[in-house]
């Protein structure tokens, strides 16, 4: 069982300057929450629209090296794919011996793309929520879940720093929890979700659409039934609120019976084997290596796959339906 934490000592960070590196969705939300919690926050960002927004929000904006030099605690909130190069060139040379380095993702530490220096604390606070939700929940005086982890504890207070930061961004408010994890575990579960149910769900919808249309169902009806009515989003929220199966009690008994009878038929032994294989491919570093080579090559496969999906009939039909649902065009 993982340890669960519902409190943190904010005083640990009261005498420190926190450098938020990257003012994107997570960076902005976390910076605003930390400031509203009474902490000293500066922003490290390249000179772009995000830097302009940070200044408009009232923050001191520095180059990334300057922000690292001026801070005691650096929260790395830039995309995983650029973080190793940025860390090596713009962060590593300016770290103090007792610096606290925080990551919101386990990926680069888990797969050794970033190797922090000795003498620093290396911690993870990974929200299980998009940046917009992090800010919205804080403003509503509600908490949210995060995974926390410690990779390097030079000060002996690394876990306490993770909990203090969690409190600062609003985790410890009502309904929030910090769940003890690790960089490796966070990277595994995050990639596993993306490689299994999340990705397969998209292509399952496509195959269901194709099957229905082949049987004479209109594209409009098929799309509305599958996901464009918004019902899927409502069901997902009920799953979070009530539980994976208990939410079925909100459905008709006909629906309950059909889902219980036919749902398991798609969970074949081959699929179960593929799920275990997906875990091993992640743990062995096969995906990390593949993704690195893809980026170095200029994203040829990714660009090709984007081109392919734009040609699917479902993509073209849903574009028409989106306009109708937005009131831009009558049916």
Give the model's confidence band at 329: pLDDT under 50 very low, under 70 low, under 90 confident, else very high: low
Is there a binding annotation on residue 190? yes
pLDDT band at 268 (very low <50, low <70, confident <90, very high): very high
Give the residue carrying structure tokens 């459905």: 251
Q: Summarize the confidence of residues 288-294 as an average pLDDT.
A: 96
Backbone φ and ψ of 187, nearest 5°: -65, -40
What confidence tier does 145 reach under pLDDT thresholds 50, 70, 90?
very high
Q: Where in the chain is the domain with CATH 3.40.50.720?
A: 4-181
The predicted pLDDT at position 29 comes to 98
pLDDT of residue 330: 54
Buried b / exposed e along 19-51 (16+ C-beta atoms within 10 A): bbbbbebbbbbbbbbbbebebbbbbbbeeeebb
Q: How far apart are the first and last CA of the chain?
A: 53
132 is in an annotated binding site: no
How does the average pLDDT of the chain come out, rounded?
96
Q: pLDDT tens, 242-264?
A: 999 999 999 999 999 999 999 99
Q: Helices H, strands E: what count in the chain?
A: 16, 9
**Other C-beta atoms within 10 Å of 233: how many?**
10
How many Cβ atoms from other residues are within 10 Å of residue 318's Cβ?
A: 21
Given a cut of 80, whether residue 331 has pLDDT beyond it is no
Per residue in 2-40, pLDDT (tens digit) is 899 999 999 999 999 999 999 999 999 999 999 999 999
Task: Tell me the Cα Rg of the chain.
Answer: 23
**Nearest-CA neighbor of 13 among 27, 30, 25?**
30
Q: What local confidence, expressed as pLDDT, does residue 57 receive?
A: 97
How far is Cα 163 from Cα 213, in angstroms, rounded to an integer?
52
Phi-psi region at 137: left, alpha or beta (left = phi > 0; alpha = psi -120 to 50): alpha
pTM of the model: 0.91
H-assigned helices in the chain = 25-36, 49-56, 64-70, 83-86, 107-110, 131-139, 158-168, 183-193, 199-214, 219-223, 231-242, 253-262, 269-283, 286-296, 300-310, 313-325
pLDDT confidence band for 327 (50 / 70 / 90):
confident
Give percent of the chain above pLDDT 90.
Answer: 97
Q: Is the pLDDT of residue 266 over 90?
A: yes
Domain 4-181: which topology?
Rossmann fold (3.40.50)
Do 158 and 152 meet the contact criterion of CB atoms below 8 Å apart?
Answer: yes
% residues pLDDT > 70 (the chain): 99
Torsion sign over Cα 285, 290, 291, 293: positive
| 75 sits in which H/E element | strand 73-76
Here the contacts of 270-273 (C-beta below 8 Å, separation 24 or greater) are none
Q: How far, CA to CA in Å, does 137 sit from each of 133, 145, 176, 228?
A: 6, 11, 10, 26
């Amino acid at each position: 069982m993982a340890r669960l934490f519902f409190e943190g000592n904010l005083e640990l960070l009261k005498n420190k300057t926190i450098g938020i590196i990257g003012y994107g969705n997570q960076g902005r939300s976390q910076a605003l929450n930390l400031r509203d919690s009474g902490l000293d926050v500066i922003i490290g960002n390249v000179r772009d629209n995000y830097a302009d927004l940070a200044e408009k929000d009232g923050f001191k904006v520095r180059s990334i090296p300057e922000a690292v030099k001026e801070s005691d605690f650096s929260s790395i909130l830039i995309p995983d794919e650029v973080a190793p190069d940025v860390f090596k060139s713009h962060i590593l040379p300016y770290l103090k011996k007792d610096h606290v380095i925080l990551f919101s993702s386990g990926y680069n530490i888990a797969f050794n793309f970033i190797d922090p220096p000795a003498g620093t604390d290396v911690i993870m606070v990974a929200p299980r929520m998009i940046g917009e939700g992090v800010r919205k929940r804080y403003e509503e005086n509600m908490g949210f879940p995060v995974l926390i982890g410690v990779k390097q504890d030079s000060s002996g207070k690394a876990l306490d720093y993770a909990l203090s930061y969690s409190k600062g961004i609003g985790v410890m408010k009502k309904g929030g929890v910090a769940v003890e994890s690790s960089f490796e575990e966070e990277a595994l579960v995050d990639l596993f979700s993306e490689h299994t149910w999340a990705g397969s769900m998209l292509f399952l919808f496509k195959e269901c659409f194709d099957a229905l249309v082949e049987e004479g169902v209109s594209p409009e009806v098929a799309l509305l039934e599958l996901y464009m009515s918004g019902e899927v989003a409502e069901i997902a929220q009920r799953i979070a609120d009530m539980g994976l199966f208990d939410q079925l009690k909100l459905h008709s008994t006909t629906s309950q019976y059909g889902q219980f009878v036919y749902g398991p038929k798609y969970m074949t032994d081959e699929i179960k084997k593929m799920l275990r294989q997906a875990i091993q491919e992640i743990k062995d570093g096969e995906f990390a290596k593949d993704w690195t080579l893809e980026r170095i090559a200029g994203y040829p496969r990714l660009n090709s796959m984007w081109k392919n999906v734009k040609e699917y009939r479902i993509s073209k039909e849903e574009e028409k339906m989106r306009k109708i649902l937005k009131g831009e065009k009558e049916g």
